[in-house]
Chain A
Amino acid sequence: MYSLVIDIIKVIVIASAVLTLIPVLIWWERKGAAYIQDRRGPNRANIFGIRLGGLIHNIADVFKLLFKEDIIPQQAHKLIYLIAPIIVMGVAVSTLAVIPFTAPVKLGDFVIKMQIADLNVGIIYILAIASLGVYGVILAGWSSNNVYSLFGGLRSSAQMISYEVAMGLALLSVIMSSGTVRLDEIAALQGINILEWNFIRQPLAFILFLTCLFAETNRNPFDLPEGESELVAGYHTEYSSMKFALFFMAEYAHIIVGSMILVSLFFGGWQIPFLSTEFMHDNMNALLKLALPVVSVSSIAAGVLLMRRTKKFGWGDARDFEPLVFGLPAVIFGFIIGIAAVFSIYLNEYAVSIITAAAQGAIFLVKTLFFCWLFIWVRWTLPRFRYDQLMKLGWQIMVPLALINIIITGIVISR
């Protein structure tokens, strides 16, 4: 009974956390693109003068998409047209089920696995669900009854099938060297030493997997399915309003989930470098004595620096007080942490466990966000492949390299 409640809480917390990351990532993409192209990016939308550096644009976007006319083409196959975006989004989110976010949390006798479903098929589940993602794209292309959409869908299905092969083969060598297909065991096995993480042990597999991830998420340099100079917008040309928003959000959900899988497989998952779970558990009070003052001082300093910008530009309206939105809470937070550090609150065992898990979850999030940034960075830096180059890369370079990697791994682990 308890386990069911815990499972439901886990599903709600994890799903809403990832869905909250999507608008942040969209904002990040716009700002990142702007700074790469040497411009300021979105900074006009505001609520009473509060702009939050362009983050308010997302709210404006949501309202725009909600109130746009929802067009269904007359010749479209209605049911499939409606189902396609749901499949795309559902596939992107349901992969989350097997990702371990922290080490198992011990609360007295309870051991809570921070993973929605502890399946013994682990990675195979991820591959299976990911292979269903093709349907959303190919059906969206077909049901729109538009030549450009159909071409986009066909291109994308061919691309995804091709790169799934290389992805599976790249993962095989990781499975071989780890000796398990469970993601939590793979994350735990990598240990706290950075040099033992899988991206050092399996560098070729890491590069192949990263490339396949770009292809699977249909991101630049593999975004031929929606290459706007050739296919208008590819498979979602005919979609408008919230149905388009689902495709748009699914792209970012794919990036987040893909980064999480990548981190779990190759970058130690929730492992904090050089700090094991047991060590943190035993020395939490000492660690907090070190960490809390640093957090406190840096938070107050950042808040004060931000607040000094108040009234700097002299607009004479609400924009003058914009820095206070982040500045004041940062200072208050810093003081609270500082008081906590001075009086050194006694932590019982449960609190220690929860803080350990929170730290591990935070480091997992940081690693994930780094790879999300890598996706954005690559998109605005590299040009797009030509289609024959894409296929040649997939079948003639990546698949043989993955096979060679498997053979090398086999030789190494059989010694």
Chain B
Amino acid sequence: MIFYLIAFGIVVTAILTIASRNSVVSALWLVACLFAQAILMVTLEAHLVAAMQVLLYAGAIMVLILFVIMLLNLTPKELKWKFIAGERLILGSGVIYLAGVMGLALWIIYKKGASFVPAAGGGTAGTVEAVGKLLLTKYALPFELVSVTLLVAIVGAILTGRGK
């Protein structure tokens, strides 16, 4: 029951994100959507992930996007909703894409018979200790590689954003 409530909230805020005229309002709906996702993750006992979702997504990335929107000082004319040319084609292909992905997901669920396996020993709560240990043992190499990606992204962002 509580899942459907949260899921409804997530879907509505996601639709409002892409449908809002004003990009600041749009960014705020995305923040609300990410926050609702964090609540969903708490119900899935992924506490660390939920906290990181708020800290990184809502707290850092979205603030950066809002900051850029305000820095560019977009005039209201530019913030208006407009379709790209050939809207029918795009809408049609979008619907086909949606149907395809949804069908694929449902087919996999049907085929694999995916269902919740009861937790072995109840050790699935995503606490800081458990996830942190996994991240620094089994996923140590991806963890280090991701830090390299971060460095590359910083250098790339500075080089791209630097004026002439």
A128 near B59 with CB under 8 A, answer yes
Report whether B24 and A154 are in contact in the complex, using a CB–CB cutoff of 8 Å: no
Verify if B6 is at the interface (C-beta below 8 Å from A): no
Contact residues in B for A121 (Cβ distance below 8 Å): 47-48, 50-51, 127-128
Interface of A is mostly: helix
Are B71 and A154 in contact, CB atoms less than 8 angstroms apart?
yes
Contact call A134/B48, Cβ cutoff below 8 A: no
**Alpha-carbon distance between A297 and B105 when the two chains are bound, in angstroms:** 77
In the assembled complex, the CB of A234 is this many whole angstroms from the nearest CB of chain B, namely 15
Q: Is B67 on the interface with A (CB-CB < 8 A)?
A: yes
Once bound together, how far apart are the Cα atoms of A127 and B22, in whole Å? 29
Chain A CB within 10 Å, residue with most, of B22, B47, B71: B47
- Which one of A122, A125, A135, A150 lies within 8 Å of B63 (CB-CB)? A135
Q: How many residues of B contact A (CB 8 A)?
A: 25
What's the minimum C-beta distance from A84 to chain B, rounded to whole angstroms? 11
Partner of A131, one of B25, B58, B125: B58
Residues of chain B from 60 to 84 with CB closer than 8 A to chain A in the complex: 60, 63-64, 66-67, 70-71
B125: A residues at CB distance < 8 A: 120
Tell yes or no: A256 within 8 A of B by CB: no
Q: With the chains together, A158 CA to B60 CA distance in Å?
A: 11
Whether B63 pairs with A157 at a CB distance below 8 angstroms is: yes
Candidate in B25, B63, B71 with the most chain A CB atoms within 10 angstroms: B63
The smallest C-beta distance from B123 to any residue of chain A, in angstroms, reads 13
Per-residue CB contact flags for chain A residues 150-182 toward chain B (1 = under 8 Å, else 0) read 100110011001001000000000000000010
Complex: chain A residue closest to B52, CB-CB:
A124
- 0/1 per residue, A103-124, Cβ < 8 Å to B? 0000000000000000111101
B54 to chain A: closest residue by CB: A128
- A132 with B58, Cβ < 8 A, contacts A119-B47, A121-B51 known: yes
Complex alpha-carbon distance, A134 and B71, angstroms: 16
The verdict on A300 contacting chain B, using a C-beta distance below 8 Å, is no
**How far, in whole Å, are A131 and B55 apart by their CA atoms in the complex?**
6
Is B33 part of the contact surface with A, judged by Cβ < 8 Å?
no
A142 within 8 A of B: yes
What 14 additional pairs, Cβ within 8 angstroms, besides A77-B24, A128-B55? Answer: A80-B24, A119-B47, A121-B47, A121-B50, A121-B128, A124-B51, A124-B128, A128-B52, A131-B54, A131-B55, A135-B28, A150-B70, A154-B67, A154-B70
Q: Which A residues are within 8 Å of any B CB, using their own CB?
A: 77, 80, 119-122, 124-125, 127-129, 131-132, 134-135, 138-139, 142, 150, 153-154, 157-158, 161, 164, 181
State the B residues within 8 Å of A (CB): 22, 24-25, 28, 31, 47-48, 50-52, 54-55, 58-60, 63-64, 66-67, 70-71, 125, 127-129
